Amino acid sequence: MFKFKVLWFISLITLQVLLANSYCTKSLVPALYVFGDSSVDAGNNNNLNTAAKANTFPYGIDFNNCSTGRFSNGKTFADIIAIKLGLPIPPSYLSVSEIERYQIASGINYASASCGILNSTRNGECLSLDKQIEYFTSTVTKDLPRNFRSKTKLKHYLSKSIYLLSIGSNDYILNYLRQEIGTNQDGNPEEYADYLLRQLGSNIKKIYDLGGRKFVIIGVGPIGCIPGYIIRKSHSQDCNEDVNQKVKPFSKKLPWMLQELKTQLSGSLFTILDSFKVFKKIRNSPEKFGFTNICDSCVGEGAKPCENRKQYYFYDFGHTTEATNEIYANKCFSGRHACVPLNVEQLVHAH
Ligand SMILES: *[C@@H]1O[C@H](CO)[C@@H](O)[C@H](O)[C@H]1NC(C)=O
Ligand SMILES: *[C@@H]1O[C@H](CO)[C@@H](O)[C@H](O)[C@H]1NC(C)=O
């Protein structure tokens, strides 16, 4: 009888430790779940059959010189938001073994480079948004219930957690902008944006139906200004405005789509990062943000990366440095204009 009581006591302690890990830390929210493309991929693609991987030097040079699969010299936007929320950096879904997944209650990263909103957007193997949400569904229905003693507690946890989506760029870079060279089947940019936004909206609704309420959405930025598209002249470097005009309808219409969704999904809250606006601010006075170069990739062809990585906006042909990610994350977390209508801090406290 005594032995039985001791065992019972020990198992209670174990349970409390588990719950403490998920609740009683100093974090502002219980968890951060991340969906998206290479802008926030934390290593899912390392496990897939694709050339779109960032698990070799010089990626991660400022992440303890460890090439984790992040497409940057250091932390991504999502990593920095997690830290600001007081959470561990969410591990990538495919790097956690199936039997360990249930132990992670502070958030998971499903993002995958070279994928997008549409199933047809891909370059080699990657996790489309549909697939990412399929995995998240498995997290919510199979893994998380093992951590919660009641459905009500799980529901509460899901409603307080934050869902960050950074996706859509590849639906242009690897899809629409490429097709245009050939057949241009998808008609005008406005219609294409509508189509993407409908798909994005229905995926957000799936997360909502599983219990998510608080969303941070990173739209498509000025793709015409990345080193891969920029127009280089002898005395200046101009953004490719033709490309920018084609991608702009997406970010212009994103707030309307989310406003519409908000009326349909009761209790939902959205934060949108306006990357066009933030980029314009930085481009107008780079020095104010500590940048000396906002046009070139820090990593040259096969060469070593630049030394002054804090002064470069771009790390490679299409991805930003940690310095850039820090600026966006700081502004979105507590600034007043980058993330609207709420910054992340306000989103945390809103209900
Ligand atoms: C970082 O790792 C690369 C590749 O493993 C190595 O060549 C380089 O010397 C390392 N740099 C530092 C500062 O440790
Ligand atoms: C994308 O593929 C998934 C299966 O992998 C399917 O369930 C979904 O309906 C597809 N979405 C579209 C928009 O075709």
pLDDT tens digit at each of 351 positions of the chain: 444 444 444 443 344 444 444 445 589 999 999 999 999 999 999 999 999 999 999 999 999 999 999 999 999 999 999 999 999 999 999 999 998 999 999 999 999 999 999 999 999 999 999 999 999 999 999 999 999 999 999 999 999 999 999 999 999 999 999 875 544 555 799 999 999 999 999 999 999 999 999 999 998 999 999 999 999 888 888 999 999 999 999 999 999 999 999 999 999 999 999 999 999 999 999 999 999 999 999 998 766 899 999 999 999 999 999 999 999 999 999 999 999 999 999 999 998
Q: Using an 8 Å Cβ cutoff, are 337 and 272 in contact?
A: no
Ligand 2 centre from 130 Cα, in Å?
A: 6
Burial 26-47 (b: 16+ CB within 10 A, else e): ebbbbbbbbbbbbbbbbbbbbb
Q: For 230-267, write each residue's pLDDT tens digit.
A: 998 888 889 999 999 999 999 999 999 999 999 999 99
190 C-beta closer than 6 A to ligand 2:
no
Q: In the chain, what are the domain boundaries?
A: 28-349
From 112, 118, 130, the mutation candidate for ligand 2 (largest count of ligand atoms within 8 A of CB) is: 130
In angstroms, the CA 125 to CA 137 distance is 21
- For ligand 2, atom 8, the nearest C-alpha belongs to 130
- For ligand 2, atom 12, the nearest C-alpha belongs to 119
Q: For 306-348, write each residue's pLDDT tens digit.
A: 999 999 999 999 999 999 999 999 999 999 999 999 999 999 9
Domain 28-349: CATH architecture, name and number where available: 3-Layer(aba) Sandwich (3.40)
